Structure 1
Amino acid sequence: MQRSLSSYAAIGDSFAEGMGDERPDGTPRGWADLVAQGIAAAAAGPVTYANLAIRGRLLAPLLDEQLEPAIALRPDLLSISGGNNDLIRARVSVAAVTARLEAAIDRAVASGAEVVFVTVANMTRNLPAGRLVEGRGNQFASAIRQWASKDHVTVVDNWSDEELMEPRYWSPDKLHLNALGHRRVAGNVLAALEVPLPPFPEELPPEVVRQSRAAYWREHVLPWIGRRLTGRSSGDGREPKRATLQPVDLPWSSRTP
């Protein structure tokens, strides 16, 4: 991508919000924040960034709530990541999900934004019913890759990144990436945008937390099932962490040359 970027907005679910990569105060960081820092480090002038993503969102409410507000910010770059929660539901039409996403991408491009679609990493190796989800994910990723031929659209295919399947990139719930995983996704996005990788502070590999199968189900799986049965979401009542375009602060002292 050759276009100079001075503003960036992200929409999505927990993946774009940054769950699994929490700061010491508990607030999520994540790959989109890191991408914003990379763009700012490479830019000649100030860069602003907004993140409207909210965890737990299915695709329909995600797009209904986030797409038009993001477009209204008139960002140079808009990243979209969604449909992930739909794929892990009992029933889903992958074709319907991809059709709705494609319409959203076309709408964003028509607004004048450069669009980058960022697929989730393949989390299925250690998940219950992982084979079923992987089949859907493969179908989903295959359809998304076709959008790379669209003008002003960049596709970042993390689903096919085999390194991201390694356990060291995942948080204890086995569904969300940890800090190392989000950092790798940020690198994939910046490479696709032809933006140099900035001098991110070193990330130490997280300590591996080993849980018994019973503990894993008790702490992660059963609460998820409980929310499904009661019609609740982990994102209920949450507001976007960064609803407006705000200046990007770099956690290091100088910009890249």
Structure 2
Amino acid sequence: MIGRLHHVVLPSRDPRQAAQFWSRILSLPIVADSGDRVIVAANEAAPGLAFQRLAQLELADRGEHPDREQGRPDAPVLQILVNDLAYAIDEVWRAGCHPIEGRDDLFADPDGNRFRLIPRVVPPPPEPHAWRRFVAIGDSVSEGMVDPDGRGQWIGWSDRFAAHISTSQTEPLEYANLAISGYRVHDIKTQQFDAALAMEPDLLSIVGGVNDVISLRPDFDQIEADLEVMFARARAKGITVITFTFPDISRVNPLATVVRDRLRTLNAITRRLAWEHGVLFVDFEYIDVAGDPRVYGEDRLHINTLGHVRVAAGMAWLLGLPGFDRSWAVGIDDQPGETSGGATDHPRAGARSHLDWARRHFGPWVVAGLRGKEYSQGKECKRPALTHVEVRPDE
């Protein structure tokens, strides 16, 4: 023997982000971090994965995604031995990666490095968890806009998700929703977060940032600082925190490309902080059905009832609730009998359709954001106090 394996070095655009991803996947700590070189290993003396920032691999801003979905075909494929393939695939999805090349066992990490999951043995199923209090904070997305209940109120994914939790356990669930349309991340932090913590939840959803994205000069440093404070403080109290990224809405209408890059920046911040603080998230940016025009309402900005149903199912899957699998991510055409009531017209409907939509919906939305005007002026949240969840048949 002339020596032993030290580290496998992988090129990386963002070594810290890549290391955070693999730290979660392998349940190994980050043992060294110099900014340009970050190492994941069992300890400082053990071999591991080293992520090295290489100048020649830095990507210029071309206004397009890195080819994460297809990986880098010329790169080696890492083989990850797993106890339960189905469980491991779920965890990889929860970490923000999805299958490539049409295979359910082959993935690419945030830098495009491919890895394959190799099954070993099946562990016993996890013990069911009973949730006591769920609080949702955020903006119109969590408030439930464009998911009417027929009585003048919104339902939304948060309400539907709370119903899923309640029906999955025998213990009662208390639920509050402090979300208000128009709020930016700083508003959520200063006007909702402390109130949510005072309710002593064991489950907290924090979703926001789109209203920041449409403002004249979104302050991404402030967004990052506010999200980090909320994630860190909630996790320090032992609260399970859930969130999600946003899809590219330019698929719903090409005129929305004006906010595409900003949404990607917001998603990158959310994704990195979630990995860093142990926040659970669904990466809707890379879920094809999340950008399907049929899951959006007439305004092409908010998801409709079908969209809220899908998001609620995705969050239930994220939490591991019994009876939920990855079918929430399947295309609409592959779900027989599923309807998309209230959906917008198709983006190929023509230029006149796009212009009419921009005049009636997108233009006023952007103008309000540029002026810093909130839709929520004088409005109260719909569920300000914890109440027991009562599940209706239609939920």
Range of TM-score over shorter length: 0.7 to 0.9
> 2:342 and 2:204 mapped to 1: Cα distance?
34
> 1:183 and 1:137 mapped to 2: Cα distance?
22
User: In structure 2, do the counterparts of structure 1 residues 208 and 7 end up closer, same or farther at CA, with 3 Å as the change threshold?
Assistant: closer
Paired residue total: 250
User: In structure 2, do the counterparts of structure 1 residues 121 and 17 end up closer, same or farther at CA, with 3 Å as the change threshold?
Assistant: farther
2:357 aligned to which of 202, 210, 216: 216
1:125 match: 251
Asked whether the equivalents of residues 213 and 262 of structure 2 are also in contact (C-alpha less than 8 Å), the reply is: yes
> 1:150 and 1:195 mapped to 2: Cα distance?
24
2:222 match: 96
> 1:165 and 1:18 mapped to 2: Cα distance?
18
Q: Between the two structures, name the one with larger relative contact order (CA 8 Å, sep ≥ 6).
A: 1
Equivalent AA in structure 2 for residue 47 of structure 1: L
**Residue 19 of structure 1 pairs with residue 145 of structure 2:** yes
Q: Which moved more, 1:146-155 or 1:19-28?
A: 146-155
Asked whether the equivalents of residues 131 and 165 of structure 2 are also in contact (C-alpha less than 8 Å), the reply is: yes
2:67 match: none
CA-CA distance at 1:209 after TM superposition: 5.1
- Identity, % of aligned positions: 34
Asked whether the equivalents of residues 252 and 292 of structure 2 are also in contact (C-alpha less than 8 Å), the reply is: no
Asked whether the equivalents of residues 16 and 32 of structure 1 are also in contact (C-alpha less than 8 Å), the reply is: yes
2:377 match: 236
Equivalent AA in structure 2 for residue 194 of structure 1: G
Equivalent AA in structure 2 for residue 56 of structure 1: G
Structure showing the higher helix proportion among its residues: 1
Structure showing the higher strand proportion among its residues: 2
**Residue 4 of structure 1 pairs with residue 145 of structure 2:** no
> 2:139 and 2:253 mapped to 1: Cα distance?
19
Equivalent AA in structure 1 for residue 376 of structure 2: G
1:250 match: 391
SS in 1 for 2:281: strand
> 2:362 and 2:277 mapped to 1: Cα distance?
41
2:175 aligned to which of 45, 49, 57: 49
> 2:284 and 2:322 mapped to 1: Cα distance?
18
Asked whether the equivalents of residues 147 and 155 of structure 1 are also in contact (C-alpha less than 8 Å), the reply is: no
Asked whether the equivalents of residues 108 and 115 of structure 1 are also in contact (C-alpha less than 8 Å), the reply is: yes
> 2:293 and 2:155 mapped to 1: Cα distance?
20
Asked whether the equivalents of residues 144 and 155 of structure 2 are also in contact (C-alpha less than 8 Å), the reply is: yes
After TM superposition, the structure 1 = structure 2 runs for residues 162-177 of structure 1, keeping only pairs within 5 Å, are 162-177=288-303
Q: Which moved more, 1:68-77 or 1:113-122?
A: 113-122
SS in 1 for 2:386: strand
| Higher radius of gyration, 1 or 2 | 2
Asked whether the equivalents of residues 130 and 171 of structure 2 are also in contact (C-alpha less than 8 Å), the reply is: no
User: In structure 2, do the counterparts of structure 1 residues 150 and 43 end up closer, same or farther at CA, with 3 Å as the change threshold?
Assistant: farther
> 1:187 and 1:110 mapped to 2: Cα distance?
27
2:166 aligned to which of 37, 40, 46: 40
User: In structure 2, do the counterparts of structure 1 residues 224 and 136 end up closer, same or farther at CA, with 3 Å as the change threshold?
Assistant: closer
Q: In angstroms, what is the RMSD of aligned CA positions?
A: 2.5
User: In structure 2, do the counterparts of structure 1 residues 152 and 214 end up closer, same or farther at CA, with 3 Å as the change threshold?
Assistant: closer
Unaligned 5+ residue runs, structure 2?
1-125, 325-336, 346-351
> 2:190 and 2:178 mapped to 1: Cα distance?
12
User: In structure 2, do the counterparts of structure 1 residues 216 and 149 end up closer, same or farther at CA, with 3 Å as the change threshold?
Assistant: closer
SS in 2 for 1:212: helix
**Residue 83 of structure 1 pairs with residue 209 of structure 2:** yes
Asked whether the equivalents of residues 215 and 372 of structure 2 are also in contact (C-alpha less than 8 Å), the reply is: no
> 2:232 and 2:342 mapped to 1: Cα distance?
42
> 1:5 and 1:168 mapped to 2: Cα distance?
33
**Residue 135 of structure 1 pairs with residue 261 of structure 2:** yes
CA-CA distance at 1:222 after TM superposition: 3.8
User: In structure 2, do the counterparts of structure 1 residues 19 and 197 end up closer, same or farther at CA, with 3 Å as the change threshold?
Assistant: farther
> 1:162 and 1:38 mapped to 2: Cα distance?
24
CA-CA distance at 1:26 after TM superposition: 2.7
CA-CA distance at 1:229 after TM superposition: 6.2
Asked whether the equivalents of residues 141 and 159 of structure 1 are also in contact (C-alpha less than 8 Å), the reply is: yes
CA-CA distance at 1:132 after TM superposition: 3.8
Unaligned 5+ residue runs, structure 1?
none
